[in-house]
Amino acid sequence: MIIDFHAHIGDLRSPEDLKKSPITLENLIERLDDEGIDKAVLLPVNVSPESCKAHGFFSPPSDIVSQLEAAARYSERLILFGNLDPRMGCLGNLEPHQVDNPPKTDFSPFLKRFKEMGCVGIGEVTANLPLDDPRVINMFRQCGEWDMPVLFHCTGPGRGVYGLFDEVGLPRLEKLLKEAPDTTIIGHAPGFWAEIAGDIKPEEKFIYPKGPIEKEGSLPKLLRSCSNLYADISAGSGYNAISRDKTFGIQFLTEFQDKVLLGTDVCYGDKEGRMPHLSYLRNLLSDKLISREVFDKITGENALRILKLYKP
Ligand SMILES: [Zn+2]
């Protein structure tokens, strides 16, 4: 079974790319059929303001519950995730001593509601907060208590973009993994995938660094040492990381065959916006550069194993 672990629906266009088409449920299913993908994990959007440049400006706005209710019509093809922002629920004025240590939100009403709607995980988390912010740790821990894996977008250090951020070496991610040991945590995006290589500069965590990988980075080390960390190869960032140095990429996919998840992160409805990940893996398989076992794990078996609440 082939599973795309990273799919969205909705209007993700910014004002500069209105020539592209929004993703509808119909063109998502059409893509899955064309590419020979059995199922996709649907990650609802529009929970954090950072990730939507023009939400509701060029198409009717869509909230998370509407996206999930619409997607539930395709329950044989779509695996539903809920989505949360770690800043949710912190109502009222804080006392001065609470500013650095805000009260802990109880996410259980949201998690219960998502579970009732058939959701089996949470993501993608895009709030622009440090990866080890107390609100992030609190939310991730609670998702683990509900057996819901969490997928997050990772960016480089400092505020101003979108996604949870970290410094070179992923020290904050390491802290989060240790503080939420019972939560399955799935990383993706430039701030995560740049760390496949060692000795990187902070600015490389915002781009797709090219060229051969001379020295392994913090990502392989964390995948080895933290059993709750998984890696989603979706988007340009994941594809670049596994293909920029083909030999290194094959070794990486083989060593972490139990931890890597196929995803695409297609953001538009047009055929031109489709992603190369699955055909790249299919080519590695047909050229005998990865085994059938590695291919099957990465393209579906790992997903089914970590999605404890999912009943196909
Ligand atoms: Zn995405």
* pLDDT tens figures, 277-289: 999 999 999 999 9
Residue 81 resides in a domain: yes
Res. 160 pLDDT band, cuts 50 70 90: confident
CA dist 156 → 20, 61, 116, 195, 267 (Å): 28, 29, 35, 10, 21
Residue 312 resides in a domain: no
pLDDT, tens digit, 9 for 90 and up, residues 200-218: 999 999 999 999 999 999 9
Residue 112 resides in a domain: yes
Q: How far is the CA of 292 from the centre of ligand 1 (A)?
A: 27
Res. 96 pLDDT band, cuts 50 70 90: confident
pTM of the model: 0.96
Q: How far is the CA of 48 from the centre of ligand 1 (A)?
A: 13
Q: How far is the CA of 90 from the centre of ligand 1 (A)?
A: 26
Q: Which residues pair with 152 in a beta bridge?
A: 125, 187
Residue 292 resides in a domain: yes
Nearest by Cα to 6 from 61, 50, 44, 51: 44
Q: How far is the CA of 264 from the centre of ligand 1 (A)?
A: 8
Task: Pick the range with the lowest mean pLDDT from 66-70, 88-92, 173-177, 288-292.
Answer: 88-92
Q: How far is the CA of 95 from the centre of ligand 1 (A)?
A: 36
Residue 311 resides in a domain: no
Q: How far is the CA of 96 from the centre of ligand 1 (A)?
A: 36
Residue 53 resides in a domain: yes
Res. 159 pLDDT band, cuts 50 70 90: confident
The CATH number linked to 77 is: 3.20.20.140
pLDDT, tens digit, 9 for 90 and up, residues 172-189: 999 999 999 999 999 999
- Give me the number of domains the chain comprises: 1
Q: How far is the CA of 124 from the centre of ligand 1 (A)?
A: 6
What integer pLDDT is reported at residue 151 of this predicted model? Answer: 98
Domain that holds residue 288: 3-90+98-306
Residue 302 resides in a domain: yes
Q: What residues have a C-beta under 5 A from ligand 1, the ion?
A: 265
Say whether pLDDT at 92 is over 80.
no
CA dist 104 → 101, 134, 139 (Å): 9, 8, 9
Residue 213 resides in a domain: yes
Question: Pick the residue with more confidence: 1 or 95?
Answer: 1
- On average, the pLDDT of the chain sits at 95
What integer pLDDT is reported at residue 299 of this predicted model? Answer: 98
